């Protein structure tokens, strides 16, 4: 069929089964947007900023497991999108971003709104393409979706010059992809899996170290089955919250810089780390020379570049977690679960010694109480997103995550402003679910313009703003390590969040008591409109436990050893 390049883009998106595209138009991508106007194969959501468009596509992808799609124009349209690409890249999120580019004849001339999108995005995309001919356009889009969703997922950029979107040619969309240099390994090495199973049987203090790859692989049921069969305790990374389920007796909790005592001590004393889709991030390992120093390491990861990148590995297994565990489980039928009883008892005592807890108050709202209360009121079917900072860590520590893809946050890049647009993407994907964005008074301002998007498209995201009038996490570090010199972290000059929400078509609440919080959350759910819930929390509350940067996991700052900053309240 003869059609323009712009039509080909739309037809390819429809052929990939995409239901929703998030984007923002401009000159270089205008022909494609003209075709979007004419088609009815997918919905387009007009965000109010390109960064938000990519974050929304990201949130959609994290919530569904499908490829998220965003579309932007050239120049500043693309540079605004880079933060979204980098966020998705760090967390291995499947996404295709289509950007407009100046005509081929203007590339390299510093034309109006020209930018080297391919060069800029090379460090923060799984792959990128500059389309040079109309004939290669269908193949490139097909390959982009294939690359985004296979192997270790990630964002792929397709940069399309404006003249190619005008050209007319024959459209034949490929049914298969053949990239000779790209052959992901899904099946783990049989001999290595056998060796790993034997190591598990011989160990005395094994520990399941569950990472975000378990979510991306949709392997949570197998991970839970492995823990149940072997009775091996488990820890989750920030990106893996929900894999084991909050009520699982084998789950110790989250580990790392703000992990709980039992989890961090388990990693410090284990004799066998069973890593499933984790990349040994610095926020997890702390001081590398002290990380699991008594342990052998089994590392299962679909990306061979991740294995032994930071930590020496004794049993490397390249492959998809689901397929590796399917092969490993039968080899563990005769495992002696009683062998680990003493180890489980040690960890139980650690948890009793320093549980994940906080001191509540009758005179002010503690942020941890807010997190736990949200969990009680919105139910296990809710989707929780977050921005980045103290509120993110409190949510990860205290929310009862029951399943993967329930928790959506920026882990690797730590992007303030991610939570609200990501929540819009998740709500578009699952309109029947309650979606709550837990944010801070610093983060929410980064993409507050998306109030208009959420109001226009009737996407009732509940934004709970934990307002301590600080850039909270930076303030915490300044308290602990900079002698309380609060350099440029005081946010006492603030907008009226309630009126701001109302001005943009939503609803707002000012919350100063627990009773007001309950009433506001229930009202927000009932009214079913985008909202800002401005919650005045304890101003100098800290996220604890905390491992100082570069410190060993067993050297934690604990609540009873780090009292609230005296004299500051």
What is the set of active-site residues? 50, 112-113, 162, 473
User: Are 439 and 374 contacting, i.e. CB atoms less than 8 angstroms apart?
Assistant: no
User: Are 257 and 473 contacting, i.e. CB atoms less than 8 angstroms apart?
Assistant: no
Among 90, 122, 58, residue whose Cα is nearest residue 414: 90
373 exposure class (CB count in 10 Å sphere: 0-12, 13-18, 19+): middle
Beta strands in 369-517 (DSSP E): 383-386, 407-408, 435-440, 462-467, 507-511
Residues in the chain: 569
Rg, C-alpha atoms of the chain: 24
Please, what's the b/e burial string for 330-362 (b: 16 or more CB within 10 A of its CB; e: otherwise)?
eebeebeeebbeebbebbeebbeebebebeeee
- For residue 116, give the DSSP letter: -
Question: Rounded distance, CA 253 to CA 275, Å?
Answer: 15
Question: Rounded distance, CA 456 to CA 466, Å?
Answer: 25
State yes or no: cis peptide before 523, omega within 30 of 0.
Answer: no
Counting DSSP H helices and E strands in the chain, the numbers are 21, 20
Question: Rounded distance, CA 99 to CA 403, Å?
Answer: 34
Exposure on the CB side of residue 364, measured as CA atoms within 13 A: 14
Task: Put the strands of the sheet holding 95-101 in their side by side order.
Answer: 43-46, 20-23, 68-72, 95-101, 155-161, 127-130
Element (H, E) at 208: strand 206-210
User: Are 94 and 127 contacting, i.e. CB atoms less than 8 angstroms apart?
Assistant: no
SS3 of the chain: helix, strand, coil, percent, to 5: 40, 15, 40
């Amino acid at each position: 069929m003869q059609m323009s390049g712009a039509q080909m883009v739309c037809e390819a998106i429809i052929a990939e089964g995409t239901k929703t595209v998030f984007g923002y138009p401009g000159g270089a991508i205008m022909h494609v947007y003209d075709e979007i106007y004419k088609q009815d194969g997918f919905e387009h959501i007009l965000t109010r900023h390109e960064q938000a468009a990519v974050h929304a596509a990201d949130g959609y992808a994290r919530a569904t497991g499908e490829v998220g799609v965003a579309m932007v124009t050239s120049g500043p349209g693309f540079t605004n999108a880079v933060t979204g690409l980098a966020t998705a890249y760090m967390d291995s999120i499947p996404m295709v971003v289509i950007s407009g580019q100046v005509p081929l004849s203007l590339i390299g001339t510093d034309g109006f709104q020209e930018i080297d999108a391919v060069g800029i995005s090379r460090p923060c995309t799984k792959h990128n393409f500059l389309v040079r001919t109309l004939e290669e356009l269908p193949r490139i889009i097909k390959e982009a979706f294939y690359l985004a969703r296979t192997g270790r997922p990630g964002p792929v950029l397709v940069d399309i010059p404006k003249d190619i979107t005008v050209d007319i040619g024959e459209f034949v969309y490929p049914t298969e992809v053949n990239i000779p240099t790209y052959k992901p390994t899904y099946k783990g090495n049989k001999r290595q899996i056998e060796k790993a199973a034997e190591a598990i049987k011989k160990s005395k203090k094994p520990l399941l170290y569950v990472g975000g790859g378990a979510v991306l692989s949709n392997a949570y049921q197998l991970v839970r089955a492995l823990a149940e069969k072997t009775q091996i305790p488990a820890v989750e990374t920030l990106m893996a919250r929900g894999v084991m389920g909050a009520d699982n007796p084998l789950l110790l909790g989250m580990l790392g810089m703000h992990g709980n005592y039992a989890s961090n001590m388990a990693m410090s004393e284990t004799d066998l780390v069973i890593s499933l889709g984790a990349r040994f991030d610095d926020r997890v390992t702390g001081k590398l020379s002290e990380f699991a120093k008594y342990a052998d390491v089994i590392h299962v990861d679909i990306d061979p570049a991740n294995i032994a990148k930071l930590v020496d590995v004794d049993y490397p297994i390249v492959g998809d977690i689901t397929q590796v565990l399917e092969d490993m489980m039968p080899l563990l039928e005769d495992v002696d679960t009683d062998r680990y009883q003493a180890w489980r008892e040690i960890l139980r005592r650690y948890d009793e010694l320093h549980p994940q807890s906080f001191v509540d108050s009758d005179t002010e709202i503690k942020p941890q109480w807010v997190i736990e209360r949200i969990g009680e009121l919105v139910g296990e079917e809710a989707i929780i997103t977050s921005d980045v900072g103290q509120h993110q860590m409190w949510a990860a520590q205290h929310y009862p995550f029951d399943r993967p893809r329930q928790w959506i946050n920026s882990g690797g890049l730590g992007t303030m402003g991610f939570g609200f647009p990501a929540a819009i993407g998740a709500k578009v994907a699952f309109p029947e679910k309650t979606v709550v964005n837990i944010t801070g008074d610093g983060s929410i301002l980064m993409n507050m313009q998306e109030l208009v998007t959420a109001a226009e498209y009737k996407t009732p995201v509940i934004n709970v703003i934990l307002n301590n009038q600080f850039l909270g996490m930076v303030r915490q570090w300044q308290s602990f390590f900079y002698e309380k010199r609060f350099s440029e972290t005081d946010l006492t000059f603030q907008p009226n969040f309630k009126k701001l929400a109302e001005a943009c078509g939503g609803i707002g609440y000012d919350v100063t008591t627990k009773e007001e919080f309950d009433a506001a959350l229930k009202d927000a759910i009932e009214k079913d409109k985008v909202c800002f819930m401005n919650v005045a929390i304890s101003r100098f509350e800290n996220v604890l436990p905390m491992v100082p940067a570069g410190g060993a996991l067993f050297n934690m700052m604990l609540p009873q050893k780090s009292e609230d900053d005296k004299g500051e309240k």
